[in-house]
Amino acid sequence: MNIMDLARSPLLAAADTALRHMGAEVIWHAADPTGSAGHDAVIEIRFHGSTASFPVEVKPQLRPATVQMHARSWPEGALIVTQRVTPQVAELLRGVGVNYIDASGNASIRAEGLHVEIAGRPPRERRDGRRSPLYSGAAMPVLLTLLCVPELVERPLRELQQVAGVSLGTVQKVRARLGEQDITDPPHAGNRDAWRRLLEGWVTAYSDGPRRDRVVCRATSRMRPGEAMSSLPPGGHTFSGEAAADLEGLDISPATLDLYLRSDVAEILQPLRARRDDTGWITIREPIWTDELDQMLRQTGRTANLAPGPVVYADLVMIHDPRTAALATQWQHHDPSLRPLFA
């Protein structure tokens, strides 16, 4: 196995520096250049008299959606090297038993006889905050529509425009950018990875943008979440997150209630006997999808009062709880919209 040239990877170089500052001895080995090894490198760490080797995966940005998407595919005992691990992502990684180190030296690395646990170090450098134009605010409803109904990627632009509820120009730009990423037809064996990356990017952008910006109110109630769900009159709202998973029969006792609503919020608060509370367990948001998409999904057999599958998935991921992290993985294979991406 060849010794690796760290000059080619600033993230690996930063991890190397952080480990050596801890007092560890480190040797990096290059992975098979054919990619057959399934990882980016191998690292040997000697620390306090113990030595262990780890397959290394480099992920420049690590978000909750990234963990959900890739945790099962990472090699056993993998060490994830990334720019920044937030406390929420760190908890998710530890919950699924994945080692990590970021450029600042925050780390959780465990093997027989070796244990490194460091947290609280500030970011080494700030990101510039730029995002691919594919995930602009205007594009988000288009991408959601395509994730729900992938067949529309092959249909005339005006069909996609009518279901997404945006301008024809926006649809044209999105389709052109998707073409650059080899997404020109529905998910199949040849392009499934590209569709998964699209879902991951959409979940991250949705969580940082519309999911946060479209909160109508947060509230709390003396009811338990299950009782609150059954107390709501039919129509006018859709369930997401834990509530949606519970309604679909997945093994969960909801501790939160995510709702999407187009009508007056009082119609929800009154039957819930809820009061506004910025830290409450009930969150009500305005949806970014159209009635046309709802109707199309109902024709495919989706339960009428559930949010679109990718939205439910995003709301599960963003709870930042190992309990719901496992649930989000189940949702990937349960939801009809997401199932083809993980076949």
Same domain for 322 and 281, yes or no, is yes
Q: Is residue 264 part of a domain?
A: yes
Domain of residue 227 covers 210-342
Number of domains into which the chain is organized:
3
Is the pTM here over 0.75, yes or no?
no
Q: Is residue 82 part of a domain?
A: yes
Q: Please report the pLDDT score of residue 1 as a whole number.
A: 46
CA dist., res. 23 & res. 284, Å (int): 49
Task: Output b/e per residue, 226-262; b: 16+ Cβ within 10 A.
Answer: eebbeebeeeebbbbbbbbbbebeeebebebbbbbbe
Which of these, 117, 120, 98, lies nearest to 47 by C-alpha position? Answer: 117
Task: Check residue 38 and give left, alpha or beta (phi > 0: left; psi -120 to 50: alpha).
Answer: left
Output phi, psi for 106, to 5 deg.
-65, 130
CA dist., res. 88 & res. 85, Å (int): 8
Tokens found for residue 72: 């099962």
Q: Is residue 28 part of a domain?
A: yes
Q: For the packed helices 309-317 and 140-148, what is the interaxial angle rounded to 10 degrees?
A: 110
Q: Is residue 127 part of a domain?
A: no
Q: Please report the pLDDT score of residue 233 as a whole number.
A: 86
Same domain for 251 and 172, yes or no, is no
Same domain for 274 and 323, yes or no, is yes
pLDDT at 307 over 90: yes
Same domain for 50 and 111, yes or no, is yes
At 55-89, the pLDDT tens digits run 999 888 888 888 888 888 888 899 999 999 988 89
At 233-288, the pLDDT tens digits run 887 899 999 999 999 999 999 999 999 998 889 888 999 999 999 999 999 999 99
What sign does the CA torsion over 115, 118, 124, 126 have?
Answer: positive
Task: Name the domain boundary from 181, 208, 235.
Answer: 208
Same domain for 100 and 141, yes or no, is no
Tokens found for residue 259: 């709702």
Of all residues in the chain, the percent with pLDDT exceeding 70 is 93
CA dist., res. 135 & res. 144, Å (int): 11
Task: Name the domain boundary from 62, 92, 118.
Answer: 118
Task: Name the domain boundary from 65, 95, 118.
Answer: 118
Q: Please report the pLDDT score of residue 3 as a whole number.
A: 58
Same domain for 160 and 93, yes or no, is no
Same domain for 220 and 329, yes or no, is yes
Q: Is residue 270 part of a domain?
A: yes
Task: Output b/e per residue, 268-300; b: 16+ Cβ within 10 A.
Answer: bbeebebeeeeebbbbbbebbbbeebbebbeee
Q: Is residue 159 part of a domain?
A: yes
Tokens found for residue 262: 């187009």
Same domain for 264 and 148, yes or no, is no
pLDDT at 294 over 60: yes
Same domain for 113 and 146, yes or no, is no
pLDDT at 126 over 50: no
| Residue the block writes with tokens 């998973």 | 245
Same domain for 55 and 37, yes or no, is yes
Tokens found for residue 49: 């008299």
Q: Is residue 312 part of a domain?
A: yes
Q: Is residue 1 part of a domain?
A: no
What sign does the CA torsion over 76, 11, 108, 30 have?
Answer: positive
Q: Please report the pLDDT score of residue 152 as a whole number.
A: 96
Comparison of pLDDT for 267 and 296, the residue scoring more: 296
Same domain for 215 and 335, yes or no, is yes
Q: Strand pairing partners for 244? A: none
Task: Return all residues near 284 (Cβ < 8 A) that are at least 6 apart.
Answer: 215, 216, 217, 218, 219, 259, 260, 261, 265, 268
Same domain for 247 and 304, yes or no, is yes
Q: Rounded mean pLDDT of 187-215?
A: 89
